[in-house]
Amino acid sequence: MSAVIKLKTLQGHLQDLNGFTKPKVQFEQYETPAHIAAVALYTIQTQYGSLQDKLVLDAGCGPGILSIGAVMMGAASVTAIDIDRDALEVLQENIDDLDINNIDTLLCDFLDEKTCRWENYFDTVLMNPPFGTKNNTGIDMRFLQMGLRCTCNSVYSLHKSTTRSHIEKKIKEWGVKGNVIAELRYDLPATYKFHRKQSQDIAVDLWRVYHSDS
Amino acid sequence: MKLITHNMLTSKCIKGVLTGFPLAINATDIKIKEVDFNSEFITRVIPKLDWEVLWCAANSIGHSDGLPKTIEPKFEEDEEFLKKAHHVLLEIEVEEGHLTCPESGRQFPISKGIPNMLLTEAEVQ
Ligand SMILES: C[S@@+](CC[C@H](N)C(=O)[O-])C[C@H]1O[C@@H](n2cnc3c(N)ncnc32)[C@H](O)[C@@H]1O
């Protein structure tokens, strides 16, 4: 499958986006670095054709690097949701700067399944879910499970490589299919005070999880 | 907020609310933003929607002109209809206003184009 733009061009555009102004620790707010977002989105389009002309959900969108990258890769319409208004306002700024008109933003709790009638609705769900390292263990798995409810096809999600066998187990339990489609390195900046080291180099997996019948 | 998004929103998460759908729209500022027309995409999206709710929503904000109340069986062959649907679903943006729960009357503000669907802990079931 072809790509609308080159990987380098995509990464260049994504590098220029505004990030979180004041990252909130309780929501695990750190952006996906531009090189990771670019490789992820490029892979999703060129290997699986899951962006061009598709109806896409960005769950926990933050400042919107995945939403905006999806549009650059040809997505027809993107819904971007987050639980934090400040993050969505940065996304609005980003989309206004770029004159993008096919991203719609919504302030809601993604884990509350009653807010939206999204069962099997989206072609593609993108997410870099909260890792769930502090007080909310398992939130990454709840994001993934909710993502699966919302799509008739696939969820693409970033997870620490250390959780790989756990995810494999969960996927079996849920009766869905999935595999790691790219292995990447995430340079988590020292955004939060409790990170003692300057930055942490973390291995992450890009997962594709999908319904067995799709 | 685009009408495609409105079509999926409910207030069912409020304690005591059974369906919470559709939410009434009160718009004080509406903008029209151009989006590329993609007939294959619109054809695929239409069956996912509650068309009657879409029509009523468009009508309530004064944008149902030329939009049929029901979908024809061979709608995918009608380019003019698809363009109209595209416009109503993707190009009309409610920038300011609010949504109202049909059962409880709870209002959800829309500001700078972003509907706020968050509830307080005391409000959820
Ligand atoms: C790790 S950040 C990823 C941000 C962005 N998607 C990116 O890739 O740069 C996780 C995001 O999820 C949001 N979030 C956390 N819990 C949420 C929830 N329950 N519902 C919706 N969004 C949530 C946070 O506000 C934050 O923006």
How distant is the alpha carbon of residue A22 from its chain centre?
20
Q: Is the pLDDT of residue B91 over 80?
A: yes
Q: How far apart are CA A9 and CA B2, in angstroms?
A: 29
Q: How far apart are CA A39 and CA B107, in angstroms?
A: 41
Q: Are A53 and B38 in contact (CB under 8 A)?
A: yes
Q: Which of residues A189 and B43 earns the better pLDDT score?
A: B43
Nearest C-alpha neighbor of A4 from the set A54, A40, A52: A52
Q: How far apart are CA B123 and CA A148, in angstroms?
A: 27
- Reported as a single tens digit per residue, the pLDDT across A156-207 is 999 999 999 999 999 999 999 999 999 998 766 555 444 555 566 889 999 9
Q: How far apart are CA A51 and CA A69, in angstroms?
A: 10
Pocket mutation for ligand 1, best pick of A11, A110, A140 (most atoms within 8 Å of C-beta): A110
Residue A92 has its nearest CB partner, among B45, B91, B113, at B113
**Nearest residue CA, atom 2 of ligand 1?**
A29
Q: Write out the DSSP string of A86-144.
A: HHHHHHHHHHHHHT--SEEEEE--TT-TTSB--TT-EEEEEE------SS-TTHHHHHH
Best of B1, B2, B6 to substitute, by most chain A Cβ atoms within 10 angstroms, is: B2
Q: Is the pLDDT of residue B62 over 70?
A: yes
Q: Does A112 lie at the interface with B, CB-CB under 8 angstroms?
A: yes
Query: Which atom of ligand 1 lies at the shortest distance from residue A109's CA?
Result: 20
pLDDT reported for residue A136: 79
pLDDT reported for residue A3: 76
Nearest C-alpha neighbor of B53 from the set B27, B21, B26: B21
Q: Is the pLDDT of residue A13 over 60?
A: yes
Considering only CA atoms, give the Rg of chain A.
16
Best of A91, A109, A114, A119 to substitute, by most chain B Cβ atoms within 10 angstroms, is: A114
Pocket mutation for ligand 1, best pick of A29, A109, A159, A204 (most atoms within 8 Å of C-beta): A29
Q: Does A119 lie at the interface with B, CB-CB under 8 angstroms?
A: no
pLDDT reported for residue B33: 96
pLDDT reported for residue A54: 98
Q: Are B47 and B5 in contact (CB under 8 A)?
A: no
Query: Which atom of ligand 1 lies at the shortest distance from residue A67's CA?
Result: 6
The predicted complex's ipTM stands at 0.96
Cβ contact (<8 Å) for B41 and A76?
Answer: yes
Residues 6+ apart with CB under 8 A from B78: B72
Q: Write out the DSSP string of A8-38.
A: HHHHHHHHTS---SS--GGGT--PPPHHHHH
From A90's Cα to the closest Cα of chain B, the distance in A is 12
Closest residue, chain B, to A53 (C-alpha):
B41
Which H or E run contains A199?
Answer: strand A199-211
pLDDT reported for residue B125: 73
pLDDT reported for residue A118: 96
Q: How far apart are CA B24 and CA A189, in angstroms?
A: 43
Q: Does A86 lie at the interface with B, CB-CB under 8 angstroms?
A: no
| Mean pLDDT, residues B43-47 | 98
- Reported as a single tens digit per residue, the pLDDT across A117-162 is 999 999 999 999 998 766 778 999 999 999 999 999 999 999 999 9
Q: Is the pLDDT of residue A56 over 60?
A: yes
Cβ contact (<8 Å) for B13 and A106?
Answer: no
Q: How far is the CA of B69 from the centre of ligand 1 (A)?
A: 38
Q: Whole-number mean pLDDT of chain B?
A: 97
SS3 state of residue A55:
strand
Q: Whole-number mean pLDDT of chain A?
A: 92
Q: How far apart are CA B27 and CA B109, in angstroms?
A: 10
Q: Write out the DSSP string of chain B.
A: -BHHHHTTB--TTBTT-S---SPEEEEEEEEE------HHHHHHHGGGS-HHHHHHHHHHTT--TT--SS--TTGGG-HHHHHHHHIIIIIEEEEEEEEE-TTT--EEEEETTEEB----GGGB-
Q: Does A15 lie at the interface with B, CB-CB under 8 angstroms?
A: no
Cβ contact (<8 Å) for A92 and B38?
Answer: no
Residues touching ligand 1 (Cβ under 6 Å) are A 27-32, 60-62, 65-66, 81-84, 87, 109-111, 128, 130
